Amino acid sequence: MSGTLVLVRHGQSEWNLKNLFTGWRDPGLTEQGHAEAKSAGEKLKARGLKFDIAFTSALSRAQTTCQHILDVLGQGDLKTIRNAALNERDYGDLNGLNKDDARAKWGEEQVHIWRRSYDTPPPGGESLKDTGARVWPYYLHDMQKHVLSGGTVLVAAHGNSLRALIMALDGISGPDIVKLELGTGVPIVYKLNADSTVASKDVLA
């Protein structure tokens, strides 16, 4: 028996628009972000998908995206589990800073390392490896069982928490996963085999 796992990065947030490090801060979606989330719902509706359960983070931009998708599908009251394990990477001292200002303070090379290395965290924050250390156990213990039992599962989360999941699902290395760009509001539809391996992957760009 195979199941379906759909991953969606939240729609554009107010801080994405302002080029700020967001991390665990909690800005809302922009007008474009709301539209992107609803568009994700329409793409999934066109595929005839209906969800059995949804998971999202403790941050409002992911929760709002999740709700928009479910509303479009006529599933606004679907059981939705919110957990900080799916939160964006914590950028620590960079949270709330403009990315250009951070480069001016610490240097372009250092900020690039913090943003794009796999295992070097910014001061007071998490690396992508650290993010994976909370995402992977949550997926294995709380989410995967719903997919492997034949269910259809929605995960509305963040660029780096989803990178960590995709890294595990696709078998991508640490140095390569940091290069993966995830569009806001773009659904990624996985079909999983009963042994948890990936049967197919479809990006609904």
Annotated binding-site positions = 9-16, 22-23, 61, 88-91, 99, 115-116, 159-160
Which one from 10, 68, 146, 158 is the annotated catalytic residue?
10
Label residue 141 exposed, middle or buried (CB < 10 Å: 0-12, 13-18, 19+): exposed
Pairing of strands 152-157, 187-192: unpaired
Task: Give the whole-angstrom CA distance, residue 15 versus residue 64.
Answer: 15
Task: Give the whole-angstrom CA distance, residue 1 versus residue 137.
Answer: 23
Q: Would you call 68 a catalytic residue per the annotation?
A: no
Number of residues assigned to the chain: 205
Which one from 36, 68, 88, 158 is the annotated catalytic residue?
88
Q: Which residues are annotated as part of the binding site for substrate?
A: 9-16, 22-23, 61, 88-91, 99, 115-116, 159-160
| Token pair 């910014």: residue | 122
Closest CA to 43 of 193, 183, 197, 169: 183
Q: Would you call 141 a catalytic residue per the annotation?
A: no
**What is the set of active-site residues?**
10, 88
